């Protein structure tokens, strides 16, 4: 039996014995302050150096991590969090492939170091793509994958040098190959009449710029030595009583005493329980409802978990909890047992200068724009977004389809065991991180893979089955293109998500074909599988300010007309089995350079600077009309007053 197959079996057994609804081992709780926990953010300016050596290995050969980075050669200021690509005027750095090195010296509070019962953790919110981290020259963690957090206990290393600042060095490599997620290829151009010596290019089959660097916050946080490692909640309700089933895992204590208390928004305690697992019964429950579906959307309780170890040490972790259910029938998507229609957007983490770097003003602006537009949902196309974005979605009642970075899987070698094993690990990391968000209602395991390839059926069966074994409370989908032949994943998923670009990539300029082709698409998929369908992408590029009437491609008029032609069909089919429509895309975004992209993809409702195109107003009117027709709106929320 090959190592990979054994590994798959091991995972399957683990899921089987675990018996929980959400089953992942090891925690990745969001670092929150509490009476027993502190955090120190390390964002700001870091020293930075790209390794331009021909094989990009000078940093490792010369052990740049062993000394201050500035002593190894020239360094520049780099903002963290941010992609490094658009920060300088250097096109070579923008398009750089290989290792880049970051370094920061930080003072660790002496009280953290003096108290031997304090555990000190270094956490990186995300770095794209492969990272190696050293503290004072000692390697503490390596991580593969660009959009999920990783961390390491570092007190053992830093306690050796009390009284000195601690030097954190992070090397990040953005190279994508056939087994990374997303996959890519490195191609060496050996024709010396055309390319210089050692010339290579990074290829990939996805439509967004491969921004790289440290994209989310780096921080230190503390816990007691005996600590709450993970919390899992699963919620339900019956009549007016809510239920929060919980499981707390603890590290560093053999006989932990665990107390759990749930409080409402007014701070009043509504339920308590004792023990590492149990159920909280909530009388007169306030359910978590989506935006525009209820007067009191996004209601969150506060769940306080307190651990007392036999040593007397106490750890406290406080987590928001939304009580809601999600179910799928053959034609409906139900939230709290009521039909939910996704009228939302696909997004990207993308903006001028910072690329994919985390940025609060941008995030708050985007939520304001989504709510202005009447969007009740978004898909994290094509990778997991920052945890803070999901926290915002929880609080605002915006429903999320949470997608892993399985995008651009088109080469047969990316369907082998090595790729599958990694993809399963990524799904575990994703579920571990996001399982407690009420806003997350479905997992998306991939976007438009070349599902017609022979190994794809096995691959997707495993992937979907494994994801379902990790979390039995949420439906699973994978996003397909409209091509009816590419349906190998469809038998396994709960909801069919279809992308199509009629009158754009097919029959360009022929707006009149949309109704017939879209009807055929829906009828074929539903006829074959009898599962609810979401139009997970549709749209057209519009260069802002470009006009032509009658409409021609790339004008604002054409973009609007594409949308209107789709909407007519959606309005018929949503009476039957279509449960959602997600526009491609919320905003314009950067892509690699190519003859089909004019400084990026222009299918946004908003420009990259978040200014509306004509289509944004069209969609706004539609979304508010749908919401008015289906939801119980808060009085302030009647379109267009707000
Ligand atoms: C798609 C992809 C998305 C692209 C979009 C387009 O099907 O899923 O990543 O950006 O089409 O605009 O081509």
State pLDDT tens for residues 256-271.
999 999 999 999 999 9
pLDDT at position 633? 65
Q: Could you report the per-residue pLDDT of 495-515, keeping only the tens digit for each?
A: 999 999 999 999 999 999 999
- Compute the distance between CA of residue 65 and CA of residue 171 in angstroms, rounded to an integer: 9
pLDDT surpassing 70 at residue 639: no
Q: Is the pLDDT of residue 631 over 70?
A: no
Determine the Cα angle at 156 with ends 151 and 159, to 5°: 120
pLDDT in tens, 133-181: 999 999 999 999 999 999 999 999 998 877 789 999 999 999 999 999 9
Residue closest by Cα to atom 3 of ligand 1: 207
- The answer for residues whose C-beta is within 8 angstroms of residue 114's C-beta and 6 or more apart is 162
Residue 453 CA to residue 501 CA, distance in Å, equals 22
Q: Which pLDDT score is estimated for 635?
A: 58
DSSP letters for 512-549: GGHHHHHHHHHHHHHHHH---EEEEE----B-TT---S
Q: What percent of the chain has pLDDT over 70?
A: 94
Residues serving a catalytic function are: 448
Could you tell which of 584, 592, 597 is best to mutate to test the pocket of ligand 1, judged by most ligand atoms within 8 Å of the CB? 584
pLDDT at 603 over 70: yes
Considering the chain, what is the average pLDDT of its residues?
94
Ligand 1 closest atom vs CA 539: 12
Q: Are the CB atoms for 116 and 139 separated by under 8 Å?
A: no
* Average pLDDT rounded to a whole number, residues 67-89: 98
Residue nearest to atom 5 of ligand 1 (CA): 207
The CA 281 to ligand 1 mean position distance, Å, reads 44
Tally of CB atoms within 10 A around 177:
14
pLDDT, average across residues 617-633 = 88
> Does the pLDDT value for residue 114 go beyond 90?
yes
> Which pLDDT score is estimated for 634?
63
Distance between Cα 388 and ligand 1 center (Å): 25
| Residue 405 Cα to chain centre, angstroms | 8
Residue nearest to atom 4 of ligand 1 (CA): 207
- How do beta strands 338-339 and 342-346 pair? unpaired
SS3 of 150-216: EEEECHHHHHHHCCCCEEEEEEEECCCCCCCCCCCEEEECCCCCCCCCCCEEEECCCCCCCCCEECC
Strand-pair partners of 402: 443
d(CA 158, CA 400): 39
Q: Which residues pair with 306 in a beta bridge?
A: 259, 316
Best residue among 204, 207, 486 to mutate for probing ligand 1's pocket (most ligand atoms within 8 Å of CB) is 207
Distance CA 113, CA 35 (A): 18
pLDDT at res. 484: 64
Q: Tokens 């770095």 sit at which residue?
A: 127
Element (H, E) at 121: strand 118-124
Is the CB of residue 137 less than 8 Å from the CB of residue 66? yes
Peptide bond into 10 cis (omega under 30): no
C-beta separation of 285 from 300 below 8 A: no
Residue 162: the pLDDT is 78
Return the bridge partners of 280, or none.
244
* pLDDT tens per residue across span 347-375: 999 999 999 999 999 999 999 999 999 99
- Ligand 1 centroid distance, CA of 588 (Å): 12
Give the pLDDT confidence of 562-586 residue by residue, as tens digits: 999 999 999 999 999 999 999 999 9
Q: What is the mean pLDDT of residues 480-505?
A: 86
Q: What is the pLDDT of residue 23?
A: 67
In ligand 1, which atom is closest to the CA atom of 206? Answer: 9
The reported pLDDT for the residue numbered 594 is: 96
Q: Which atom of ligand 1 is nearest to the CA of 382?
A: 9
Supply the DSSP string of 354-381, one letter for each residue: TBT---HHHHHHHHHHHHHHT--EEE-T
Measure Cα distances from 539 to 387, 500, 525, 536 in Å: 28, 8, 20, 10
Q: Residue 313 C-alpha to ligand 1 middle, in angstroms?
A: 52
Separation between Cα atoms, residue 218 and residue 214, nearest integer Å:
8
Q: Answer with the residue of higher pLDDT: 1 or 612.
A: 612
Pairing of strands 218-224, 39-41: antiparallel
Least confident of 15-24, 320-329, 618-627: 15-24
Q: Over pLDDT 90: what percentage of the chain?
A: 89
Q: Is the predicted pLDDT of residue 13 greater than 90, yes or no?
A: no
> How far from 57 is each of 50, 54, 84, 140, 144, CA to CA, in Å?
11, 8, 19, 20, 18
| Residue 21 binned pLDDT confidence (cut-offs 50, 70, 90) | low
| 403-426 per-position pLDDT tens digit | 999 999 999 999 999 999 999 999
Residues framing ligand 1 (Cβ under 6 A)? 207, 382, 447-448, 499, 537, 584, 601, 603
Banded model confidence at residue 11, pLDDT cuts 50, 70, 90: very low
**Helix or strand (DSSP H, E) at 629:** helix 614-630
Atom 9 of ligand 1, residue of closest alpha carbon: 207
Write down the pLDDT at residue 8: 38
The Å distance, Cα 207 to ligand 1 centre, comes to 6
Cβ-based neighbours of 64, under 8 Å, separated by 6 or more = 49, 58, 72, 101, 169, 171
What pLDDT was estimated at residue 164?
A: 86
What is the DSSP code (8-state) at residue 385? P
């Amino acid at each position: 039996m090959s190592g990979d197959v054994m590994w798959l079996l091991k995972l399957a057994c683990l899921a089987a014995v675990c018996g929980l609804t959400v089953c992942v081992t090891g925690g990745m709780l969001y670092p929150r302050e509490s009476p027993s926990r502190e955090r120190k953010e390390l964002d700001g300016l870091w020293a930075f150096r790209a390794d331009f050596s021909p094989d990009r290995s000078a940093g490792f050969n010369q052990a740049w991590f062993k000394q201050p980075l500035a002593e190894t050669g020239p360094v520049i200021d780099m903002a963290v969090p941010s992609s490094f690509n658009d920060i300088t005027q250097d096109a070579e750095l923008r398009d750089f492939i290989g290792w880049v090195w970051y370094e920061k010296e930080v003072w660790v509070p002496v009280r953290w170091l003096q108290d031997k019962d304090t555990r000190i953790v270094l956490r990186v919110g995300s770095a794209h793509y492969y990272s190696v981290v050293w503290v004072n020259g000692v390697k503490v963690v390596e991580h593969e994958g660009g959009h999920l957090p990783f961390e390491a206990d570092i007190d053992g290393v830093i306690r050796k040098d009390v009284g000195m600042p601690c030097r954190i060095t992070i090397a990040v490599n953005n190279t994508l190959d056939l087994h990374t997620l997303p996959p890519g290829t490195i191609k060496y151009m050996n024709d010396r009449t055309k390319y210089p010596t050692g010339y290579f290019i990074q290829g990939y089959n996805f439509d967004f710029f491969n921004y790289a660097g440290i994209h989310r916050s780096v921080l230190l946080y503390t816990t007691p030595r005996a600590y709450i490692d993970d919390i899992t909640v699963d919620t339900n309700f019956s009549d007016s009583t809510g239920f929060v089933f919980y499981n707390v895992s603890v590290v560093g204590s053999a006989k932990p005493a665990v107390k759990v208390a749930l409080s409402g928004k007014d701070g009043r305690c509504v339920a308590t329980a004792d023990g590492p697992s149990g159920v909280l019964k909530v009388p007169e429950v306030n359910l978590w409802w989506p935006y525009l579906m209820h007067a009191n959307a996004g209601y969150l309780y506060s769940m306080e978990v307190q651990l007392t170890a036999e040593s007397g040490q106490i750890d406290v972790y406080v987590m928001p909890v939304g009580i809601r259910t999600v179910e799928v029938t053959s034609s409906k998507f139900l939230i709290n047992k009521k039909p939910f229609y996704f009228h939302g957007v696909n997004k990207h983490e993308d903006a001028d200068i910072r690329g994919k770097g985390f940025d609060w003003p941008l995030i708050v602006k985007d939520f304001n724009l989504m709510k202005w537009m009447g969007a009740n949902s978004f898909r994290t196309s094509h990778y997991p977004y920052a945890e803070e974005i999901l926290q915002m979605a929880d609080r605002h009642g915006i429903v999320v389809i949470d997608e892993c970075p399985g995008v651009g899987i088109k080469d047969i070698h990316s369907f082998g065991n090595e790729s599958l094993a990694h993809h399963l690990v990524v799904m575990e990391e994703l579920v571990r991180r996001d399982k407690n968000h009420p806003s997350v209602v479905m997992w998306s395991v991939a976007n438009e893979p070349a599902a017609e390839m022979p190994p794809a059926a096995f691959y997707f069966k495993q992937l979907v089955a494994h994801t379902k074994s990790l979390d039995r409370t949420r439906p699973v989908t994978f996003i397909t293109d409209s091509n009816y032949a590419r349906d190998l994943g469809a038998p396994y998923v709960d909801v069919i998500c279809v992308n199509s670009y009629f009158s754009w990539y097919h029959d360009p300029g022929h707006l009149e074909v949309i109704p017939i082709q879209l009807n055929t698409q829906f009828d074929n998929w539903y006829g074959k599988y009898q599962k609810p369908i979401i139009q997970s992408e549709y749209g057209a590029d519009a260069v802002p300010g470009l006009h032509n009437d009658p409409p021609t491609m790339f004008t604002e008029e054409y973009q609007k007309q594409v949308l209107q032609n789709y909407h007519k069909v959606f309005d018929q089919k949503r009476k039957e089995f279509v449960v959602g429509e997600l526009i491609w895309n919320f905003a314009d975004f950067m892509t690699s350079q190519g003859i089909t992209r004019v400084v990026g993809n222009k299918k946004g409702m908003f420009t990259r600077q978040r200014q509306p195109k004509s289509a944004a107003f069209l969609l706004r009117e539609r979304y508010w009309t749908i919401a008015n027709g289906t939801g119980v709106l808060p009085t302030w929320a009647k379109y267009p007053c707000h």
